[in-house]
Every structure is written in C-alpha cells, then in structure tokens.
C-alpha cells in the first residue's frame, strides 16, 4: 500500500520581464516572514506574475502514483476575493531537453480570505499523473502564473502571497 508524502518545491526563477512575482519580506506584528508575492495588476501582459519551481522526484515512487499540489497562501492586503491561477508542469530526466510545459490547471480560480487569513488549497482533488506522469529519480518543474485582474475571474484586489513553497503531494512505495 502506498504512503503519501509531501515534498516542497524549490524556487527556480521568476519571470524578469514582468517583475510581478518575487520573494519579499512580510513584516508582521509578532514576527517577520518571507513570502512569495504575486502582485495585482489590471492589464495583461504586465499583470501576469510568473514563478518557476523544481524538485527531484523520489526514487521510491509507488507503482501507480497520484500527485497534486498544495498551496499555503494569503491575501497580503485588502478584502477577500478569488485568485486566477494557471499551472504548467514538465518532468525532465538526465539528458532531456526542455520542451513546452503541459498545462495541468488551466486558469482555475479559488477563494482567498481577507488580509491576514491563512488558506490551504489543494489544486487537484484527484491527481495530475494522467497529464504529467512522474518518473522516479527525475526532476519535476512547475510554473505558477497569476493571471492579471482584467483577464476575468481574478477578483482579489490585493497582492497574493505564498506563505510556503508549493508542495508536491505524492505516493511512494
């Protein structure tokens, strides 16, 4: 019977052309915290915040693996709303050449509470393995893109923060 584990993704690169996604310091009343911020901008393409993440896939994958992504996030300022997120992924092995990523979440919206409320969202209730099959010992690359407010669906008027790196939840043997 497989065991489910959670593996944090490592920040690889942010899209330097828009500069609408970056690591920053969130100063709180009791402690300071580093966050990954996607700012709100009203018009594309300047409103799209893009961050790329990566991790090594464990060598002890279950024979039939199910995987999804978990986000710990919050609204950094303002009232509650919905974030519009697109997620792409790719698995690369030794000697592979990167190709166009596969979209695993095509512009999905999810709720975010008022400023300061912590939220946990699992992006797939089932799994992404049918779209991007994981291979033991290879590398998983994931791109998160907050689509600009004017692109319909993103109603969060404040900035959106990831409080932890995205987490890959998967099955191992």
Structurally, how many domains does the chain consist of? Answer: 1
Q: Are 171 and 6 in contact (CB under 8 A)?
A: no
162: containing domain = 3-172
Cβ within 8 Å of residue 172, ≥6 positions away = 2, 3, 4, 5, 58, 60, 61, 62
Integer Cα distance of 27 and 17 in angstroms: 27
CATH number, domain with residue 116: 2.60.120.260
Give mean pLDDT, residues 51-65. 89
Number of H helices, E strands in the chain: 0, 12
Give mean pLDDT, residues 124-150. 84
pLDDT 10s digits, 64-121: 788 999 999 988 887 788 888 889 999 998 788 888 999 998 888 888 887 777 888 8
Confidence (pTM):
0.87
Integer Cα distance of 51 and 147 in angstroms: 12
């Amino acid at each position: 019977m497989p065991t489910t584990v959670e593996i944090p993704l490592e920040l690889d690169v942010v899209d330097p052309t828009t500069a609408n996604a970056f690591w920053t310091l969130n100063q709180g009343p009791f402690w300071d915290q580093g966050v990954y911020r996607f700012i709100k901008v009203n018009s594309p393409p300047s409103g799209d915040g893009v961050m790329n993440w990566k991790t090594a896939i464990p060598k002890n994958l279950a024979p039939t693996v199910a995987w999804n992504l978990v986000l710990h996030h919050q609204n950094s300022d303002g009232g509650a709303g919905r974030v519009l997120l697109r997620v792409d992924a790719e698995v690369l092995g030794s000697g592979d050449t990167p190709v166009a990523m596969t979209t695993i979440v095509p512009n999905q919206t999810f709720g975010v509470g008022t400023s300061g409320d912590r939220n946990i969202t699992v992006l797939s209730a089932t799994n992404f393995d049918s779209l991007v099959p994981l291979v033991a010992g290879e590398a998983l690359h994931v791109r998160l893109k907050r689509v600009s407010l004017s692109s319909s669906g993103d109603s969060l008027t404040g900035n959106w923060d990831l409080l932890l790196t995205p987490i890959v939840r998967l099955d191992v043997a």
